[in-house]
Chain A
Amino acid sequence: MLEIAIKGSKNYWSWIIFLLLVMGAGFIVYIDQFMNGLMITGMSRDVSWGFYIANFTFLVGVAAGGVMVVIPYYLHNYEKFHRITILGEFLAVAALVMCLLFIIVDLGQPTRALNVLLYPSPKSMLFYDMLVLNGYLFLNIVIGWKVLEAERNQVEPPFWTKPLIYLSIPFAIGIHTVTAYLYCGLPGRGYWLTAILAPRFLASAFAAGPAFLIILCYLIRKFTKFDPGWEAMQTLAKIVCWAIIANLFFFLCEVFTVYYSNIPGHKAHLTYLLFGYHGYHALVPWMWTGLILMFTGAIFLVIPQFRNNKTLLPFTCAMIFFGAWIDKGLGMISGGFVPSPLHHVTEYAPTKPEIMITLAVYATGFLVLTLLYKLATQVKEEVRG
């Protein structure tokens, strides 16, 4: 089946070469980081996690979001999702590849990464995160590949894929829950120390993942002969709608609890993000942009006329996707570290090398996504052909 990926149009190859160039440029910068250490990043003693871990967290959400097509199709036999289920699964694969790369580039001693396996530490949440992320990646590769292969050969998928598919559902919830547990179990970080963190993560994941999937559907319609189906995209849009509303609601719950209880250790972080703290407000414009994007996106999706508008929908989805990225990517990690447990304020901004490496990781993910989507759409074209 892999041979499909090496036959493509001029556009296809230009896109692949563009991605390879970005990857190459980022790799050169990464060599510098590998040789000289994380000093090339904007991270510091006080803000010890930055852009890498932030994007990791966001992309775990995108990966988990894939389950929003798997559940309706496999649990509720929602036939309209038949054509896009594979797209959700392959999106999860690409997102997980990026997640694992972000973890690797964030390590101070990447060559020792396997120590996590050599000295398994069941008290550490990172241990479980490693298990569920790799498990979910493995499941999606196997399921996606086997189901697509069966479709190409016009036979039923092997019987053993069914239990794996059902297993992938709790795994999807699991990856984002455990990722939230990395943060919300830490005693000294008021912003993360909240039981609603995992639900909030899941809500924003179920918005961002399917929103991105809708955008991908538009691209597939434009660049291939395969049509994912407008009705399926409409259903996805409804899922995005309710998920983003849940996310905003959870955020409001957080705001209420923090400000009404008035506990300084919890309040300081949100104040820093929304209004600035002791004269530091680098993230304030970002946070409000993110909130406005998510809120406007939610309104556009609730109103049927706007949701059904074929021209508006991709833009609405882009708004929600970027809004969720700001909320989770920029705010969530920095917000937890500012102010520090000693109430010092050290602000964080990624450096150029850090952004370059981040872009290269994204390029790698998009390369995986392009190849897998090329396979999927081509097979589906052939079968329908």
Chain B
Amino acid sequence: MMKKSRRSFLKVAGIAAIGLGASPAMNFASSDSPGTALAVKGKNEQALTAHRWGMVIDTNKITEEIAEKITEVCHKTHNVPDFKHEVDAEKYPKTRLANHKQEIKWIWEEEFHYAFPEKEDEYLTEKFHDLPFLVTCNHCKNAPCVQACPTQATFKREDGIVIMDFHRCIGCRFCMAACPYGSRSFNFRDPRPFIAETNPDFPTRSKGVVEKCNLCAEQLAKGELPHCVQASEGAIVVGDLEDPESDIRVLLKEHYTIRRNQSLGTEPSVYYIV
């Protein structure tokens, strides 16, 4: 460990000596070095890992209550503001009225024809009309948001999770235009007055940055399942899409599943059993 950190220090110092102009090269070099990745993985032996994370949502098992519970636990643990929350006037004086069109959502309910607009059908199976369809970031294999981001604040991890660096995001919202699933939200204002109870284990965001579902990367790193999976009473399963033996691959083998707007070639990693 000692040896490794000294080596990386020397490397950084060497590149820094070339001058400020080399900083992009430095980032490239450090992100590419296998040493860094090993160090991260070595932090917790219990961490859940995958070659490519995926999610299966069994729509038959999702009721209105379960869907609500999932949204609530996800938003609470990730400090997602709720614009319906009554602001503490003492702590946040002069907070202006919230515009609900500017709300933040990580996972939420949609009706079938909104979740799957390309599958709209006059004679749709009746049960689909009332079923709540949970939608979230699809952690696409070919993510248009990652491609669009001009600062690599949105990037794709080796395990397939599309994740964000809230401190690098400049708030240009190109990713929001690029996402064909409406999965991204922008902090049009400081979200903190609208967080009922701040979870100290997850960062709050500042105004002016985009955010979205991170597949509970912080949970996986601790060796725990995502909050939505835990709250779903078996309706949501996550696992390794590239492991033929994984639970999720077994589910995909046994059931007919659909993905949102597949024709775009984004290769969503979220599957729906219908």
**A38 touching B149 by the CB < 8 A rule?**
no
Closest to A106 in B: B172
Expressed in whole angstroms, the Cα–Cα distance for A37 and B189 within the complex equals 5
Query: Contacts A44-B99, A126-B150, A265-B117 hold; do A118 and B23 have CB atoms under 8 A apart?
Result: yes
Pick from A38, A45, A116: contact of B170, CB below 8 A: A116
For the complex formed, measure the closest distance between the CB of A261 and the CB atoms of chain B, giving whole angstroms: 15
A49 at the interface (CB under 8 A from B): yes
Contact B24 A118 (CB under 8 A): yes
Check if A48 sits within 8 Å of B186, measured CB to CB: yes
Residue from the list B115, B153, B189, B210 in contact with A39, Cβ < 8 A = B189
Choose one: A41, A119, A183; the contact of B168 (CB below 8 Å).
A119
Interface residue? A278 (CB, 8 A): no
Judge whether B114 is part of the interface by a CB distance below 8 angstroms.
yes
B188→A37 contact, CB < 8 A: yes
Are A343 and B101 within 8 A (Cβ)?
A: no
The residues of A that contact B151 with a CB separation of less than 8 Å are 112, 115-116, 118-119, 121
Is the CB of A350 closer than 8 A to any CB of chain B?
no
Main secondary structure of the interface of B (DSSP, over half): loop
Q: Are A108 and B150 in contact, CB atoms less than 8 angstroms apart?
A: no
Q: Interface range on chain A: under 10, 10 to 19, 20 to 34, or 35 or more?
A: 35 or more
The interface residues of chain A lying within 8 Å CB-to-CB of B114 are 342-344
B226 at the interface (CB under 8 A from A): no
- Residue among B96, B110, B169, B188 with the most chain A CB within 10 A? B188
A280 to B188, CA, bound (A): 24
- B51 within 8 Å of A by Cβ? no
B244 within 8 Å of A (CB atoms): no
Residues of B with C-beta under 8 A to A106: 172-173
Q: Is the interface of A mostly helix, strand, loop or mixed?
A: loop
Would you call B148 and A125 a contact (CB within 8 A)?
Answer: yes
**Given A36-B96, A341-B117, also A186-B189 (CB < 8 A):** no
A77 within 8 A of B: no
B209 to chain A, nearest CB (A): 6
- The answer to whether B189 touches A48, judged by C-beta atoms less than 8 angstroms apart, is no
Q: Let me know if B177 and A189 touch, CB within 8 A.
A: yes
Q: A130-B150, A343-B114 are in contact. Are A188 and B144 (CB under 8 A)?
A: yes
Does any Cβ of B come within 8 Å of A285's Cβ?
A: no
Cα A344 to Cα B181 with chains together (Å) = 11
Could you tell me if A36 and B189 are in contact, using CB atoms closer than 8 angstroms?
yes
Interface centre among A113, A183, A186, A265 (most CB of B within 10 A): A186
6 A-B residue pairings within 8 Å (CB atoms): A36-B96, A39-B207, A45-B101, A108-B170, A265-B118, A342-B115
List the 4 closest A-B pairs by CB distance, nearest first. Answer: A108-B171, A188-B180, A108-B208, A44-B101
